[in-house]
Amino acid sequence: MSPNTDFRDATRVKAQLAAITPVAERVAARLGRPLQIMEVCGGHTHAIFRFGLHQLLPESIEFIHGPGCPVCVLPVDAVDQAVSLARQQNVILASFGDPLRVPGSRGSLLQAKAEGAEVKVLYSPYDALALANANPHKQVVFFAIGFDTTMPGTACSLLAADRAGIGNLRFICHHIRLMPTLTGLLEAGEVQLDGFIGPGHVSMVIGRRVYAPIAHHYHKPLVIAGFEPVDFLQALYQLVQQLDQGRCEIENAYARVVADAGNPAALKAMKQAFESGIDGHWRGLGRVLGSGVRIRTQYQHLDATELLATLEPVRAADEPVWCNGVLTGRIKPHQCPLFRRQCTPEHPVGALMVSSEGACAAYHQYRPEEVGSEQ
């Protein structure tokens, strides 16, 4: 199948919608309210709006947008530290493109770059090795962010830098694990959820089986989905069927990419490079038990934590409270009074308006009729 044709085939999409609708309506009638389904990943939020699925699906299905956008959860103080580091003499701050526009309390990395800081956009953490080799008299720091999806790339690059004995490369790691984030959300119990559409990219790394506690302990079904309309609707169909039949299982509707046990090589590299189970503090989510990682002590020479300790201390800035509501599914983006008023992609107040996976960016791009209510 070609992703741009068969997985977007209108006939198949119509058949899937015809299959989903009566099942969803039956379950919603039994519950006396719409089904509350969380699509964990911001990539799915964008797919729903980009392909107009929200207009085609029945009102008996309500999507609750989940926290799975790594740029959106990047803490303000992490951005501030990266900006401070980038402004140091002889430092090259390397990063993926998305975090550059995330506002911190001292501006963004992009602003620091405009003011003369050496900030480089890389497509892969591996490129940081070449950058370090090409600039032996400078300290290169890679600003590593992301869920389990990007963690293997950082891990492999860090291990490769260690093997190659590169002395002028370090990593700042703000990686976040998905499973502790989901269980933290369920433990908080602030949002009524009937089931999850599981993220395809993260699951490619961590696999299907790892989600078992979501079904067994929290009694929520989850179906892993791809990002094309046919993929997404197949997962949604399986999910509403589970709800209709009173089943609660972890299913995989993206088996061409996701294996039950995940990617063993990626998981091995992550385990080798990082210590897991570290409590993390994330923008919008607050403290999430066991969601963070840190570089293992044997690779301390590649850890930028020491460099950060030499900088002027960063005072944690206030984050817009609305971002927290959107990230935890308690409000929709247009229910934030700043939406499309003070907060736009050109002048973002919160990270959800910046990231290509942010829910606010999706609403801004695909729902031009929505404007935040005046305060």
Q: Which residues of this chain interact with ligand SF4, rule CB under 6 A?
A: 320, 322-323, 326, 333, 336, 338-339, 343, 349-350, 352-353, 360
DSSP 3-state assignment of 290? Answer: strand
Q: Distances in Å between the alpha carbon of 18 and those of 13, 253, 256, 262?
A: 9, 18, 24, 32
- Could you tell me the smallest distance in angstroms from the CB atom of residue 269 to ligand SF4? 33
What is the number of alpha carbons within 13 Å of residue 205 lying toward its C-beta?
Answer: 21
Quick count: other Cβ atoms within 10 Å of Cβ 9?
15
Q: Tokens for 186, please give them.
A: 């369920």
* CA 114, chain centre distance (Å): 27
Q: Which residue has the tokens 């206030």?
A: 318
| CB nearer to ligand SF4: pick between 11 and 375 | 375
DSSP 3-state assignment of 21? Answer: helix
| CB nearer to ligand SF4: pick between 67 and 195 | 67
Buried b (16+ CB within 10 A) or exposed e, 328-349: bbebbbbebebbbeebeeeebb
Please report which helix (H) or strand (E) contains residue 293, including its range.
Answer: strand 286-295
- Could you tell me the smallest distance in angstroms from the CB atom of residue 48 to ligand SF4? 17
The closest alpha carbon to 197, from 152, 234, 150, 245, belongs to 234
- Could you tell me the smallest distance in angstroms from the CB atom of residue 322 to ligand SF4? 4
| CB nearer to ligand SF4: pick between 143 and 322 | 322
| CB nearer to ligand SF4: pick between 294 and 330 | 330
DSSP 3-state assignment of 342? Answer: coil
- Could you tell me the smallest distance in angstroms from the CB atom of residue 375 to ligand SF4? 12
81 neighbors 308 (Cβ within 8 angstroms): yes
| CB nearer to ligand SF4: pick between 78 and 250 | 78
Sign, CA dihedral 68-70-75-76, equals negative
| CB nearer to ligand SF4: pick between 51 and 322 | 322
Buried b (16+ CB within 10 A) or exposed e, 256-271: eebeeebbeebbebbe
| CB nearer to ligand SF4: pick between 208 and 364 | 364
Residue nearest to ligand SF4 (CB): 350
| CB nearer to ligand SF4: pick between 94 and 343 | 343
The closest alpha carbon to 364, from 350, 146, 291, 168, belongs to 350
| CB nearer to ligand SF4: pick between 145 and 215 | 145
Report helix angle 151-164 to 264-273, nearest 10.
Answer: 60
| CB nearer to ligand SF4: pick between 314 and 349 | 349
DSSP 3-state assignment of 263? Answer: coil
List the end-to-end C-alpha distance of the chain, in Å, as a whole number: 49
